[in-house]
Chains A and B, each alone.
Chain A
Amino acid sequence: MSHALHRHGTTEQLQIDYTFYARASRFVNRDGCGPKLRKILAIALSEPNLVNYGSSQAGKSYEAGLKPEEYAATLDKAYGVAGCFSDKETVRSFLKNLKEADTGISIVISGLIDEIVKIGKELDIKPHTAFLSLGVHGKRSLLPEDEVQQVTTMCGHGMVGAKLTKVVMDRVKRGKITPEKGAHILAQPCPCGIFNTNRCRTILEECKKEAAR
């Protein structure tokens, strides 16, 4: 899953957008990884500022009603745990606890490179490999507006469509629904739980303000 790569936005906009993915390798440590994944899930759930979580194996995210115990029960037949945060302090706390737990499962954090590297340095964690985004190429005329891409790219599997995003943005602008409700609706199609509803709410609030000007 290059799922968490290519999230659209400026450095400023991405300050509130971090995802995590704990992933066992089918070539190394996938067999019997369930208890370790459950441990990682428990660490994530202990973070008070965890925004969302989910899994394609479970078929839904926290925002779509996935309960922690339901999620945990799927992990004997899965190979990863995913979710998202909106602040660096939570990323730091999560990594600190994971380091102490020392599960041996690979951990991927997505977000601003310099911020993540800095947190790693503070915790004496040495980042191993980066997956960089070199942008969108090809027929770029097919892309929707910038603000729409900021929302849709938070589900790298492409489950949150441009049409739904535009419809929700329009309802928010007209005061039909709150930005919070709009973010909740937009999170429904993304089962992996890395759709950041906090960031989405911020984007929708900005749309509303823009429309009022």
Chain B
Amino acid sequence: MKIDPEKCIACLECVDFCPMNCIAEKDSGVEIDQDECVECGVCLHVGVCPTDALYRPEEVNHYPRAIRAEFSDPGVWHPSTNQGGRGTEEMKTNDVTGRFRRGEFGMALEFGRPGTGARMSDLEKVLQVLVKMDVELETNNAVFAFLEEPITGKVKPEFRNEKVLSAILEFKIREDQLEEIVRQLQPVLAEVDTVVSWGLASRFAEDGTLPVRTQLAALGLPARPNAKINMGMGRPIVEQ
């Protein structure tokens, strides 16, 4: 995002709305720190500028910078996945896709959430561990388009320093791997230079319970009392 100095009257109305806190008064005007700006567009979308001085310049639509809006502005779709947002359908449509079946868990590690943002290089430390583990990485996640191939856990060099509001690593594990994966990930996550929100997707058991909650508590990683629940109302339903 940029501010047209010819139009800006330095009213500072936009400053507080920036989630990355990167709009500031400078000299006699207002500037956006281009390195910290994630191109989320909040300052523009909320419509607080009385003189329409805020704009998204054409050059931000070109890579590598274009990755910022793709991972930060939910209204901008990812060309590689043909959808907006940061993740995939994951468990939201699991009742019709059968992505996660009984005996399997889905995991999602969202870097930069809540509210801190992340450099794409922040993903590498964890991704380099994940690729050596026996997990199934979710290749439908938009992050995949920006990784070096063959997949070693490295982000393509031109994208490493790009900052986004958040980016997600998604993968699937077998139920019997849970303890091992948790034990291996915890110390690696502690070393990451931003925050990481961790999620786990599980099928409900036939009796309507979630046995994984007990397993997680026993591992010292209790699930929060609130969750997202796919109510099983999609059709045709995948029962397994």
Contact = CB atoms under 8 A, between A and B. Distances in A.
A5 B82 contact: no
A167 B227 CA distance: 29
A98 B231 CA distance: 11
A128 B237 contact: yes
Contacts of A102: 233, 235
Interface in A25-58: 25-29, 56-57
Given A128-B237, A131-B200, A29 B96 contact: yes
Given A105-B233, A117-B208, A157-B165, A134 B91 contact: no
Interface of A: 1-9, 11, 14, 17, 21, 23-29, 56-57, 59-60, 64, 79, 95, 98-99, 102-114, 116-117, 120-121, 125-140, 142-144, 149, 152-153, 156-164, 167, 188-189, 191-192
Contacts of A129: 91, 94-95, 100, 201-204, 229-230, 232
B10 interface: no
A108 B231 contact: yes
Contacts of A126: 204, 208, 232
Given A105-B234, A164-B16, A113 B210 contact: yes
A77 to B, nearest CB: 11
Interface residues of B, number: 79
B227 A131 contact: yes
16 contacts: A2-B228, A59-B75, A110-B226, A112-B225, A121-B208, A126-B204, A127-B232, A128-B230, A129-B201, A129-B230, A131-B201, A133-B198, A134-B224, A158-B112, A159-B19, A159-B74
B85 A128 contact: no
A132 B234 contact: no
Interface stretch (B28-36, B39-47, B129-137): B39-47
Interface string B89-109: 111111111001000001010
Contact of B93 (A24, A159, A161): A24
A188 B40 CA distance: 14
A198 to B, nearest CB: 16
Interface of B: 16-21, 40, 42, 45-46, 72, 74-75, 82-87, 89-97, 100, 106, 108, 110-117, 165-166, 168, 186, 189-190, 192-204, 208, 210, 212-213, 216, 221, 223-237
Contacts of A24: 93
Given A56-B75, A131-B199, A158-B113, A163 B16 contact: yes
